[in-house]
Amino acid sequence: MTEAVEGRWFGVVRAAAQAFIESSTNWVNGTVVWTLSGRAVDTVSVRAQDPLYLRDREAWEMESAQTERMAIRCDLRNVPLPGSAVPDQHPARRRSSTVDMLLLAVAVAWGSTYWVAKELVSQDTVLAVLAVRMLLTALALGLILAAMRKRLKKTEAVVGGILGLLLSTVFTFETFGIAATSATNAGLIISLTVVMTPVLETVVSKRKLSRLFYLGAVIAVAGVYFLATGGAAASFGFGDLLILLAAVARAAHVTGMHRLSAGRRIDSLNLTFVQMSTCGLVFLIMSSLWGIPVTTYAGSMTGAALLQMTYLVIVCTVFPFFIQMWAVRKTSPTRVSLLLGTEPVWAAAIGVTLAGDVLGPLGVLGVVLVLLGTMWGQRLELKTAEDLVPTTQESKEVRAPSV
């Protein structure tokens, strides 16, 4: 009983305090005006027109006081007292900004992989570097799976094994290409995956694409030509060709992931773990047959190489995976794809500023055309996909790491 009385008195005191804080009294020509929550009430004008006031002034004043107290409680119930925490008025907007910033961080990390990988690898160490990176990534994901007590299903093992073989092809072309070309060229040419994937998907599914999409694809290809050759076709390097083949292989991997995962209950973490494990085993075998064996390479790694490898494993692979998994539950898949699609922008920026890549006028034109064509094509493809897929369906597919 005592607690109820104290609670009631606390409510009265709080309401009075809020009324004092939020109200202001103005005396204008003898008329009192109360401003409560932004509303002005002329008490003299109101009572002069109220029949109850004319009949019984005391009853009118009692009823007005009660009504005013109720209005104060209703209007100011959620207004914080001085010194108290102010509630966030835009939680959804702040949450959206956080998601966007983290997705952009993933895009920046992916854009930086071309520069870091180029610093780390040579033609002789490509396979050993890939083996160490994939095995360490698989180990990290395996520890997380064990902590989460997730079980691997047969379907996930089979699908992950097939996709892992495709991904091994992607990494082979991509990393050998990086060793033979610039970080800027690698990051921009590989972005052609964005326009190649819908084309390949169209061939498989018989689905038609907009003519504007093909225009965007042509613009992107023209950009690659100017970027890689500077206008002279003979200067298109072997490394550029390997990156182009990597883009085709990545488009096949993305299409295969979509096709093999459709209609099956597959956990993305399990699938990624199997893919990384498969890649690690493939490169472990390949490095023992060609190039430098993994044990020899691991024993000769410098401190800088260890830092670069850790960066590729944690920042460019494990971190992006979980950010993607979290982001697709907080925002639309379209927004996720568009933000991650800024990767080539960061690849070019990092290539020029940190890797020291030099671009001539035609090279700069090529960068602009690649970015314009890929982003245009991506937006058109995402719009087409949204029209075909119900808005309630949320994609949980996670993109494989770069390089």
pLDDT above 80 (res 77): no
pLDDT for position 92: 52
* Same domain, yes or no: 243 and 358: yes
Residue ranges of the alpha helices (H) in 77-122? 91-120
* Same domain, yes or no: 28 and 108: no
| Pair of tokens at residue 372 | 């314009």
* Same domain, yes or no: 308 and 228: yes
Q: Which of 76, 101, 127 is the last residue of a domain?
A: 76
**Which tops the pLDDT comparison, 319 or 96?**
319
* Same domain, yes or no: 150 and 10: no
Q: Is residue 87 part of a domain?
A: no
**Which tops the pLDDT comparison, 387 or 71?**
387
Q: Grade residue 241 by pLDDT with cuts at 50, 70 and 90.
A: very high
Q: Is residue 271 part of a domain?
A: yes
Cα gap 342→348, rounded to integer Å = 10
66's CB contacts (< 8 A; 6+ apart) are: none
Q: Is residue 190 part of a domain?
A: yes
The CA-to-CA distance between both ends of the chain, in Å, stands at: 70
Cα gap 308→332, rounded to integer Å = 33
* Same domain, yes or no: 68 and 181: no
* Same domain, yes or no: 56 and 107: no
* Same domain, yes or no: 254 and 344: yes
DSSP class of residue 89 equals S
* Same domain, yes or no: 157 and 234: yes
- For residue range 142-152, what is the model confidence (pLDDT) as tens digits? 999 999 988 89
Q: Is residue 172 part of a domain?
A: yes
pLDDT for position 23: 42
pLDDT above 90 (res 230): no
Number of domains, the chain: 2
**Which tops the pLDDT comparison, 203 or 186?**
186
Among 72-81, 98-107, 167-176, 339-348, the least confident range: 72-81
- 318-349 b/e (C-beta count within 10 Å ≥ 16 → b): bbbbbbbeebbeebebebbbbbbbbbbbbbbb
pLDDT for position 13: 42
pLDDT for position 192: 87
- For residue range 271-304, what is the model confidence (pLDDT) as tens digits? 999 999 999 999 999 999 988 889 899 989 999 9
Cα gap 180→227, rounded to integer Å = 15
Q: Which of 41, 76, 111 is the last residue of a domain?
A: 76
**Which tops the pLDDT comparison, 174 or 13?**
174
- For residue range 156-186, what is the model confidence (pLDDT) as tens digits? 999 999 999 999 999 999 999 999 998 988 9
pLDDT above 90 (res 137): yes
Q: Is residue 315 part of a domain?
A: yes
Q: What are phi and psi of 31, to 5 degrees?
A: -110, 130
pLDDT for position 20: 40
Q: Is residue 398 part of a domain?
A: no
Q: Is residue 86 part of a domain?
A: no
| Pair of tokens at residue 185 | 């060229």
Domain range holding 219?
A: 93-388
* Same domain, yes or no: 118 and 219: yes
**Which tops the pLDDT comparison, 31 or 60?**
60
Q: Is residue 149 part of a domain?
A: yes
What's the predicted TM-score (pTM) here? 0.69
pLDDT for position 39: 35
Compute the average pLDDT of residues 18-33: 39
* Same domain, yes or no: 70 and 104: no
pLDDT for position 98: 84
pLDDT for position 105: 92
pLDDT for position 141: 93
Compute the average pLDDT of residues 8-23: 46
* Same domain, yes or no: 263 and 377: yes
Among 36-45, 250-259, 275-284, 390-399, top mean pLDDT goes to 275-284
Q: Which of 20, 45, 76 is the last residue of a domain?
A: 76
pLDDT above 60 (res 21): no
pLDDT for position 60: 54
* Same domain, yes or no: 263 and 354: yes
- For residue range 97-126, what is the model confidence (pLDDT) as tens digits? 788 899 899 999 999 999 999 999 988 899
pLDDT above 80 (res 242): yes
